[in-house]
Amino acid sequence: MHFTCTQQTLSKALNTVSKAVTTRTTLPILKGILLETTGDNQLRLSASDLDLSIEKTITVSVSEPGAIVVSARLFSDIIRKLPNDTIEIHQMENNQILIRCMSSEFTIVGLPADEFPNIGIVLEQQSLFIEKEILKELIKKTSFAASIDESKGIIVGVLMDISLEQITMVALDGFRMAVNREKMDNKQEQRLVIAARILNEINKIMMDSEEETISMILDEKKAVITMQDTRIVLRLLEGEFIKYNDILPKNYNCRVILNRSDFLESIERASLLAKEGKNNLVKFSIEGESMEITSRSEEGTVRETVMIEKLGDNLEIGFNSKYVLDVLKVVTDEQIILQFNSSISPCVIKPVEGNAFEYLVLPVRIATN
């Protein structure tokens, strides 16, 4: 293999495929990136952690075809540090490659290309087209609520529940749940679960894509997302996702309408004294036309007051401030509704009109003196 290209083009491509490189493996080949020259002066870069695989194709000047696997970390670091000029890469004997750029020259050891895992093909059973901006927003507004504990099984993923008229994305971790809906005409109904970690990497790649519509091809175990010169193959999570509609409370005893920004800023200030060892506890006291938000620690106390419109009972309830803040930071509505049943029942955060989102947050028990 022998080719030349610009430093900027190669560095950008490496940044994309590196998102599929894992450090949590004992297999050296999975810590690498496959470089493969194809016809018509094309270089295909591939990386895989077996759950997520990314291929990126760029235009280079090929003198000699070939393929080799290089250390993702070392090769990317070298290319990133080289001057913004033409880079020459030459595959030599014993799986070594020579990298030249202006006055710099590196020789590094690679691995045989035939040891790299086959990313494989997806037998198309269904296809889905989603507007990029819609998918980006849905991921941003739900993925944070998925569990980060790998032992929790399917709830490390985000459910995509696709009906003929809308797409609903759901994530939960046992302490909170995020549900977001977007109207969309679909040809078929489909339910699939994708690891939140993978969706977040896809979101980063979409930010660099100029395409307005994302194509997704599905079979029972895998999905392929195609964007410009990038192909992403991902493993779908298997199992039955929790019936989220059964979790959402249907009634309430206390309903509050308030300004989201005022509420967010008040909780951010109150959480400065919320102790992490005590569940970042902030207490809401809802009475009349105001909500008092308080927090205390050995270092002091804080009291914030937010004006509200209330319907129903007065209430005192405690929350982990982080879980409430995570919701308020992704919601963009100026006014929101909070619905409560009791001091030990979850709070539901929803829009004043429609059902575009519903967030459920479990309370923290407040110690009684």
Which of 84, 78, 49, 55 minimizes the C-alpha distance to 67? 55
* 126-245 matches 249-361 in fold: yes
Alpha carbon distance 53, 259 (integer Å): 43
Residues 80, 67, 204, 199: what is their CA dihedral angle, to the nearest 10 degrees?
-150
Asked whether the beta carbons of 1 and 91 are under 8 A apart, the reply is yes
Length of the chain: 369
Give the rounded distance of the alpha carbon of 197 from its chain centre.
5
The pLDDT of residue 277: 60
E strands in 184-289: 190-195, 213-218, 222-227, 230-235, 254-259, 281-287
Alpha carbon distance 234, 193 (integer Å): 11
Alpha carbon distance 19, 52 (integer Å): 9
Q: Where are the domains of the chain?
A: 2-115, 126-245, 249-361
> Regarding the domain delimited by 249-361, which CATH topology (the fold level of the hierarchy) does it fall under?
DNA Polymerase III; Chain A, domain 2 (3.10.150)
Which of 365, 330, 369 minimizes the C-alpha distance to 349? 330
Asked whether the beta carbons of 215 and 127 are under 8 A apart, the reply is yes
Characterize the bridge pairing of strands 309-312 and 300-307: unpaired
Alpha carbon distance 177, 361 (integer Å): 7
Number of C-beta neighbours around residue 331 at 10 A: 18
**DSSP helix, strand, coil percent of the chain (3-state; round to 5):** 25, 45, 30
3-state secondary structure of 201: helix
pTM assigned to the model = 0.91
The pLDDT of residue 294: 94
> Regarding the domain delimited by 2-115, which CATH topology (the fold level of the hierarchy) does it fall under?
DNA Polymerase III; Chain A, domain 2 (3.10.150)
Asked whether the beta carbons of 276 and 354 are under 8 A apart, the reply is no
Give the residue carrying structure tokens 């977040």.
Answer: 200
CATH for 126-245 (3.10.150.10, 3.40.50.300, 3.90.280.10, 3.20.20.70):
3.10.150.10
Alpha carbon distance 362, 324 (integer Å): 10
Helical spans, DSSP H, in the chain: 7-17, 72-81, 132-142, 196-207, 244-247, 260-270, 321-330
Give the residue carrying structure tokens 């660099």.
Answer: 208
pLDDT digit string, tens, across residues 265-293: 999 999 998 766 667 899 999 999 999 99
Asked whether the beta carbons of 176 and 362 are under 8 A apart, the reply is yes
The pLDDT of residue 204: 92
Alpha carbon distance 282, 302 (integer Å): 10
The pLDDT of residue 25: 82
The pLDDT of residue 368: 62
Which residue positions in the chain have pLDDT lower than 70?
A: 275-278, 368-369
